[in-house]
Amino acid sequence: VTLYPNPASSIINMSIDLLPKTKMNASIYNNIGRLVMDAGDFTSDEFNLTHYKTVDVGNLMSGVYYVILSGYNKKITKPFIKN
């Protein structure tokens, strides 16, 4: 999983490599663990395994946030800073 730019001011770009026929959900949490945004799903088929998503974080207050990707019996946490 890759997040950029970090720190971010208005958008973050996410890229993730998935196994074939899998789905993961991306959610953004603040530094006290409160869900602040559902960033949507990543779904792969048999051939398209790398997925990209741009998320508008311009309305979030400045601070540290965590993108949590969950699904396929996994949970991946990636921090980012919102300026």
Cβ atoms 11, 48 nearer than 8 A:
no
pLDDT category, 49, cuts 50, 70, 90? confident
- Residue % of the chain over a pLDDT of 90: 72
Torsional sign, CA 16, 81, 71, 40: negative
Is residue 57 scored above 90 in pLDDT? yes
Q: Exposed, middle or buried by CB within 10 Å (0-12, 13-18, 19+), for 42?
A: buried
Cβ atoms 2, 76 nearer than 8 A:
no
Is residue 48 scored above 80 in pLDDT? no
Q: How far apart are CA 17 and CA 49, in angstroms?
A: 6
Of 44 and 68, the structure prediction assigns the larger pLDDT to 68
pTM value?
0.90
